[in-house]
Each structure stands twice: as C-alpha cells, then as structure tokens.
Amino acid sequence: MDEKLRRYLNKYNIQYKSYEHPAVFTVSQSSSIKIEIPGKHTKCLFLKDEKGSFYLIVLLAEKRLNTRLMKEKLGAKELHFASIEELKKELNLTPGSVSLFGMIYAKNTCLIIDKELWDAESAGFHPNINTSTLVLNHENIEKFYNSISAQKKILKL
C-alpha cells in the first residue's frame, strides 16, 4: 500500500485487515488466489461520459454492470472506459489496481457504490496496488465513504 493511503486510513481511523497475494489484474484471475479472503469480492470500473465526467463504479465482483441503466441514472448519452492516461492522472492508478481507495487522489471523479455492495457486512478492495487486498467491515467502508469530499452516490445497479 502506498504511504499516502496508509496515512489517510490512519487519519480517519479506518480499520482494515490486509491480505498479501500474487498480482491479479482481473476478477477472473482473483479466483486463482490460494488464500481465503473474507468479505464480498469487488470490482471497480473507471468510466467516462461524453461530457468528460469521470465515474468510479464499485460493485460486487460477480455482478455485470448494466451500462444502459447506468447511463440513465447518470443522464449520460455515452459511457466508456477512460484511458490509461486518464486513470493515472485522475486517480493515480494503473490498470489492474483500480480501487475504491483511488478516490483519495480524485479531482473530478464521482464515486458510485452499488447498494448491494453497500449493504454487505464486509468487502475487500485493492489498496491501489494489485498484490494485496484490504478487507473492511461496513462501518469502516462507511467511514471511508464519508471522508471523501468528491461527489458520491449509492445506487441500486
């Protein structure tokens, strides 16, 4: 985990349990991890609309994002993955490490968490690198969510 994220979590007293594992770049690769990581498994999608607005969408790993519904909820005509360069510039992340925690670097990104994930007892997220997972209980996910000053929403996806 990078030092800025470690300091951020400490500053807001956000508790987590860390699990080290080999690098994984996709949800399907994560199923090959040999250690048992508790909580809901997640995926994070960094998207951009036709107006240039960015969205970090966080949902359960096995859930497929309904882009038609997402466009309706956002009032967007188009929605596609942002570029690698935009991901690095906006969230200081690289492909394979996209995470809820990238929001500590966000300048113009709206965080959207799926209600089903929000209601989970606990969930795991990469700490901005893909060689470990931090598991937070709901109380600590909520602390992180509330600490973010960027626009944010919890939506039923």
Segment 26-47 shows an average pLDDT of 77
The domains found in the chain, sorted by start residue, are 3-155 (3.90.960.10)
Report the pLDDT value the prediction gives residue 133, as an integer from 0 to 100: 93
Whether the pLDDT of residue 13 is over 60: the answer is yes
3-class DSSP assignment, residue 9? helix
Identify each DSSP E strand in 50-151 by its residue range. 54-60, 79-81, 109-114, 122-125, 132-137
> In sequence order, which residues have a C-beta less than 8 Å from that of residue 135 and are 6 or more positions away?
16, 17, 18, 19, 37, 38, 39, 122, 123, 124
Whether the pLDDT of residue 20 is over 90: the answer is no
**Backbone dihedral angles phi then psi of residue 147, each to the nearest 5 degrees:** -80, -20
Nearest Cα neighbor of 135 from 30, 33, 42, 34 is 42
Judge if pTM exceeds 0.85. yes
Q: What is the CA radius of gyration of the chain?
A: 15
Please state which of the ranges 6-10, 33-37, 41-45, 48-52 shows the lowest mean pLDDT. Answer: 33-37
Nearest Cα neighbor of 6 from 132, 151, 142 is 132
Segment 26-31 shows an average pLDDT of 58
In whole angstroms, give the CA distance from residue 62 to residue 127: 20
